[in-house]
Amino acid sequence: PQVIFVHPDGRQDAIEIAVGASVMQGATQHGIEEILAECGGNAMCATCHVYVDDEQIGRLVPMSENEDALLDGTAAERQPTSRLACQIEVTPALDGLLVRLPDRQT
């Protein structure tokens, strides 16, 4: 499945990510520098913050309470479509998912 990353300057990168991997893993393996992922995907750091496209947020499974709490501590402003990329597992149904990258993670 492909996930499309939109950088703060508008550039887009469409990246193929394996089913079962997280959006964070796909991003870091392909050099998406806006995703820091300091905790390595353990839902502890909130430096893998992304904004899911408004019209696509309903495609994701709802977030856990822990993710919700962490999103209150993001460096860039939290928005209604904010998610942690390490908590989004790629599935075939998510092909074409578009996420915007915040301008800072710390």
What does the binding site for ligand FES look like in residue numbers (CB under 6 A)? 24, 37-39, 41, 43-48, 84, 86
C-beta of 55 vs 68, nearer to ligand FES: 68
Check residue 33 and give left, alpha or beta (phi > 0: left; psi -120 to 50: alpha). Answer: alpha
Asked if residues 23 and 88 have their Cβ atoms less than 8 Å apart, the reply is yes
Asked if residues 19 and 47 have their Cβ atoms less than 8 Å apart, the reply is no
What tokens appear for 24 in the block? 């964070």
Provide the minimum distance between the beta carbon of 40 and ligand FES in the complex, in angstroms, as a whole number.
6
C-beta of 48 vs 94, nearer to ligand FES: 48
Provide the minimum distance between the beta carbon of 42 and ligand FES in the complex, in angstroms, as a whole number.
6
